[in-house]
């Protein structure tokens, strides 16, 4: 893509899908062919998209050759007067970790697509939600290792509650009375910079059909955000409680009502006698036996209350 524009006049597509190692004739020289295309591009700024790196590694049949070719392409692109961008699309492959490190590029952005079911699972099982307005270390400590285990994400997608497709969650919405289906993804954005202080910034965005969107706008996660808003929204009772002042003094009617409540440890007969005769002195009833005597000489004197 020349000049950073998306118009057809500035886009050049080079198709190598017919190249199959061991079967193509004549044998294509991918390294020199790629470098010649980039060097011959008449543009001060150049954006190069390779789709995909895992196929390139398979065609070159060597991890070192593929990595060396990408390094040369990146050097040629960035040496132009107005610079350029190298965009690599890839499924999981052997050199993916190498091209996503700051040693490959001092300014690197890594975009990873995830199924929306992943966020729903973390919310329901671990009670952890993504909050765009806060760092939320707990969420990232769960999300990063879980998302890297692709087999776990596949189990969520192909489960009974999953979308059943690794191409994103199918969602529907109505436009002028017509039902329209679209796909949704969750995109993890990782920006790495290398300098005096290496930094890594992470965030989540949404992808709907063919354009990015805020993650809170995804239809597949609307229940997640609706539940969060319901928790954060104060109820009318809570608002009234904040405006209520406390008065600990009882009115005469409240004191009378409290006095009429029987004590839980009072005997029924005792409550009746107290209300009829008024307050009386306390009496302890005790029937001693010989085992309770303290003084054998005069047992009754010790127990006379």
pLDDT tens by residue, 173-225: 666 677 767 788 899 999 887 667 778 889 999 998 888 999 988 888 888 87
Say what the pLDDT of residue 213 is.
92
Say what the pLDDT of residue 68 is.
94
Q: How far apart are CA 56 and CA 110, in angstroms?
A: 19
134-150 b/e (C-beta count within 10 Å ≥ 16 → b): eeeeebeebbeebbeee
Examine residue 294 and state whether it is found in any structural domain, yes or no: no
Q: Provide the residue range defining the domain that includes 229.
A: 106-235
Examine residue 91 and state whether it is found in any structural domain, yes or no: no
Say what the pLDDT of residue 278 is.
54
Say what the pLDDT of residue 87 is.
93
Say what the pLDDT of residue 252 is.
84
Q: Indicate the pTM of the whole model.
A: 0.65
pLDDT under 50 in the chain at which residues?
Answer: 1-5, 271, 273, 305
Examine residue 3 and state whether it is found in any structural domain, yes or no: no
Say what the pLDDT of residue 4 is.
41
Model confidence pLDDT, tens digit, residues 114-141:
988 899 889 888 888 898 888 788 899 9
Count of domains for the chain: 1
């Amino acid at each position: 893509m020349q000049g950073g524009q998306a118009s057809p006049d500035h886009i050049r597509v080079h198709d190598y899908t017919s190249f199959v190692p061991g079967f193509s004739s004549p044998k294509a020289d991918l390294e020199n062919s790629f470098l010649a295309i980039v060097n011959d591009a008449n543009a001060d700024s150049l954006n190069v998209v390779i789709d995909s790196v895992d196929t390139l590694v398979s065609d070159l049949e060597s991890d070192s050759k593929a990595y060396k070719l990408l390094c040369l392409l990146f050097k040629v692109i960035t040496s132009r007067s107005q610079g350029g961008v190298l965009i690599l699309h890839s499924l999981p492959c052997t050199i993916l970790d190498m091209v996503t490190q700051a040693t490959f590029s001092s300014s690197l952005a890594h975009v990873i697509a995830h199924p929306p079911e992943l966020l729903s699972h973390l919310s329901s099982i671990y009670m952890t939600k993504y909050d765009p307005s806060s760092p939320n270390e707990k969420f990232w400590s769960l999300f990063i290792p879980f998302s890297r285990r692709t087999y776990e994400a596949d189990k969520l997608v192909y489960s009974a509650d999953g979308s059943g497709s690794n191409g994103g969650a199918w969602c529907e919405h109505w436009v002028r009375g017509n039902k329209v289906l679209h796909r949704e993804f969750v995109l993890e954005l990782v920006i790495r910079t290398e300098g005096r202080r290496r930094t890594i910034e992470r965030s989540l965005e949404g992808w709907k059909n063919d354009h990015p969107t805020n993650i809170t706008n995804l239809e597949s996660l609307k229940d997640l955000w609706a539940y969060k808003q319901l928790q954060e929204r104060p109820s009318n009772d809570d608002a009234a409680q904040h405006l209520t002042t406390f008065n600990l003094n009882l009115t005469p009617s409240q004191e009378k009502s409290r006095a009429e409540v029987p004590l839980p440890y009072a005997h029924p007969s005792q409550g009746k006698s107290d209300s009829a005769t008024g307050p009386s002195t306390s009496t302890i009833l005790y029937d001693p036996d010989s085992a309770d005597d303290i003084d054998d000489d005069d047992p009754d004197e010790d127990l006379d209350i």
